[in-house]
Structure 1
Amino acid sequence: MTESVPARENPRRQSEELTRDEIFTVLSNRRRRWVLHFLKQRDGQRVDLRTLVDTVSAWEYDTSPEDLPWKKRKRIYTALRQSHLPKLADAGVIEYDRNRGEVVLTEDARTVRMYLEYVPENDIPWSQCYLALSGIGVTITALTWYSVYPFADLSGLALATILVAMFTASAVAHTYYTRHNRLGSEGKPP
């Protein structure tokens, strides 16, 4: 009968949270971010190291896992096993069982998730979008209040409908783009 090997002991105490600097250090490497992205896609399931290596290698070399030469895969395997996975485990965001070759996200991974949201270079921050919508809403309300054409004949219900429609459309767009750029979304991370 084979004895079960316990998961790697996390040196971080349960009550101790990661500092912002520690989070940025952990996330400073693209391979570690890709590991977190892939594990998030697996929704709490344990992943064997080989599958993780195949996926991260394919993303790094922008090819399918079947087309990867052994040497390239070996480089990723070595870096993940010896450096990146232990660093993520020490931070408490994954459980890494080195003996079994299994990795899983921990509940503490939620702490680093907000630091990984991708914002495209030329994208307008959503806070500015909502501020602009509020400005438009105030302007439309003022034009209606002072009976300026074409807003002079708007009823309170029509005005409320316009304002709610603006914010609803913005919220739907915001939700769509956030899901696409979120940790664990389908495919290769941005």
Structure 2
Amino acid sequence: MLIETAPAPSRPAPPHERPSSFAIDVPEALLVRARAGERAAFEQVYRRFERPVFTLALRICGEREAASDVLQDTMLKVIARIGDFRGNGSPFWGWLRQIAVNEALMHLRRGRRQAGELPVDGHEPADDSAPPPPAAADTAQLQRALAQLPAATRGVLWLYHAEGYTHEEIAALMQRTPSFSKSQLARGTRRLRALLQIEENDHA
């Protein structure tokens, strides 16, 4: 009698191979119109990227009001600088995403909240291959769990798991070291898993 075995679970794709929420195609004709200052073109760009910018800002900053501020500041900066974007093989969404990340982290620094991070416990090694957090039952559940993490830890988790940044890139953005990013990823992922489990038990 043959025993059927379940296929081995697939490993999550490396961060640099995961699609970004910002990976939205923008026609060159639309960018030309936006560079020329056409208001309707700017409105189309805004509508395309409103959701990913707000979501990123909400995950990093932890508050809807702060996320709205980051969204506004990001799009104002995009409007002011769109004439500087030349592409050179890089997608427009990558350029816009970089502005959004910088604005979100700048907001944290202004609020003096980025210093918050999960402490080193002295015996747990940083896990560079930490799997992504489990999918929450709903967006609100995930947001509640993320809100309980320190700001810097939350930022590392989102940039690494959701946006595919490397530890070296995160370190440069946060003005820290790759080791800091790796340790916060490992500890933050474990803490988020525990928080989501508590959420599930509370709503069971």
TM-score with structure 1 setting the length: 0.22
- Greater strand share, 1 or 2? 1
Write 1 or 2 for the structure with the bigger share of helix: 2
Which of structures 1 and 2 has the bigger CA Rg? 1
